[in-house]
Every structure is written in C-alpha cells, then in structure tokens.
Amino acid sequence: MTVGLYAGFFLLAAGSVPALRQAAGRRRAVLRARTLLPGEGPGYGGGAVGRAALGRWWAAARGRPEWLCLPAAGLLALLGGSPLPLAAGALAVPLVRRRLRAAGARKEREALAGRVVALCEAAGGELRAGRQPGHALAYAARRTGALGAEEARVLAAVGFGGDVPEALRRAARREGAEGLAGLAACWQVAVDSGAGLAAGLDRLEAALREQDERREALRAELSGAWATVAVLAALPVAGIGLGAVMGAEPLRVLLHTPAGGACLVLGGALEAVGLWWAARIVRGGGGDVE
C-alpha cells in the first residue's frame, strides 16, 4: 500500500512538470510584456483602475468618515438578512457627523488658543528687543496668525492710530481667542498709564499657559472615565459577537423574532440613555474638556 502511494505521487508529479513549465513560460511572457509596455498586459490596467478607485474611496472616507456607518450597517444587514441595520446606520450618520464636527471645533479652538499664547510670547520678545508696540504686535500677528479674519482691522488700527484695544476685543469674540481680551486690557493700561506692555504680556502669557496646563491635566484625569464609557458602549456589541461565535445566531433572533425585536428596541433605548447619562456626568465634571 505504501509503495503504491509513493508510486502514484511520483506519477502525478511527473505529469505536472510539463504544465508547470508551460505556466512558467506564460508568466515570463507576461512579465516581459509589462516591462516593454508599461501599463499594459492582462489584468494590469484593471488592477490600476481598481487601486485608483480604492484610493478615491479612501480619500472620500477620510474627508467624510461619518459615511462609513453605511457600509458597516450594510454588512450587518447582509449578515442578519434584515434592512433594519441599514436604517439604523442611516440614522447614525448625522449623529456621528455632529460628534465629529464638535470634536473638530474643539481642536480648532484649542489651536487658536495656542496661537494667542504664541502671539503674546512673540510680541513680548519684540518689545524686549526694543521695537515699538505697534511694530511688535504687527510682527507677532503676521507670524502666528492668531488674529485670523480680524488681522487687517487690528493692523489698520495699529498703523493709523485707531482704537487698538477695541479691535482686539472684537477679535477676542471668537471661541478660543478669549486671551486677546487680556491683550486688549494690557494695551489699554499701557496707553493710559504708561505702564510697561512687555511685563503685562509676560504675565498674560504665563496665565494663558497655566490655563492650558490645567485643561490638559483635567483631560488626563477624565481619560479613564471616558475609557469606561467606551467599554460600556462596546459591551453589547461584544455580547452579540460572542453569541455569534457560539452559534446562537443573535442577529437572527434580534431581527426576525418578536421577542428579539422587543429586546433590541428596549436594550437600544437603555443603552442610549445610559451612554447619554454617563457622558453627561463626565462632561459636567470637566466642563468643555472632552
């Protein structure tokens, strides 16, 4: 029996040698064609088109990540054989978009606050170097971009003897630029009483940096609470995945049976309320820090 198996193996191997040689020859011919004619050849152009399409899809997904809810919901709809996950994914798109926009606005606000600190630092450095207050402020504004759309108004007030503190207060109305109100107060005091503007800018910079440090420390302390909220949010999904691995077919039960549908609606409502309440508690403890 063993001799027969070895003999059969060697016969199959010997019979496959010509086929392997023929396949290798076709492979070499295709490689030569691709070398001589870049972008041509069987399947070459199709692969390039596929990669280009994938690249465009990925760029669109990075620009609008909230739309990734739809493919994920579509996959659940296919696995569960029900359109309900797709409808839930469509409802989740505006909620995720709102959340992402809030996170983006917070990042922009913090970046603007950092540019205001850099403006105070740069202006103070120019003043200590002997430059006039107007020139120091103009240089710092152009270097940091902290004034944004109000830069032209502030620089016009500086250059033509206008009301610089008022222009700075107008620029401070944007979220994240509140520190410009302190700069306006320092400028007003320096103009009215002749006090040193550089010393006031140093104290303002120190106060703004201390505020940023407190915000970062509070965010670090709240990171554990946010991690707990994220774990609680993932527990139902993990339970459904565990049930699917064990062969319990949780998607079929939840989407195709009356009792499962009732549990899905009630559990989803309780999950949403619990997450909202937990996030409200954490957000209340940290103010606008998220």
Token pair 């710092």 is found at: 140
Question: Which pair of tokens denotes residue 183?
Answer: 């700069």
pLDDT at 281: 81
Cβ burial, residue 231 (10 Å; 0-12/13-18/19+): exposed
- Output the tens digit of pLDDT for each of the chain's 290 residues: 333 433 443 333 344 334 434 544 555 554 554 544 444 444 444 455 556 655 665 665 666 788 888 888 888 888 888 888 888 888 888 888 888 898 888 899 989 999 999 999 999 999 988 888 889 999 999 999 888 888 999 989 988 888 999 999 999 999 889 999 999 999 988 877 766 888 889 999 999 999 888 888 888 888 888 888 888 888 888 888 888 888 888 888 888 888 888 988 898 888 888 888 887 887 776 655 55
pLDDT at 24: 47
pLDDT at 48: 55
Position 162: which residue type? Answer: G
Position 246: which residue type? Answer: M
Neighbours of 58 (CB within 10 A): 10
pLDDT at 10: 37
pLDDT at 117: 93
Answer yes or no: are the C-beta atoms of 279 and 289 closer than 8 Å: no
pLDDT at 180: 92
pLDDT at 7: 41
pLDDT at 15: 41
Neighbours of 142 (CB within 10 A): 12
CA angle 15, 19, 20 (to 5 degrees): 105
Q: What is d(CA 165, CA 134) in angstroms, rounded to the nearest whole number?
A: 12
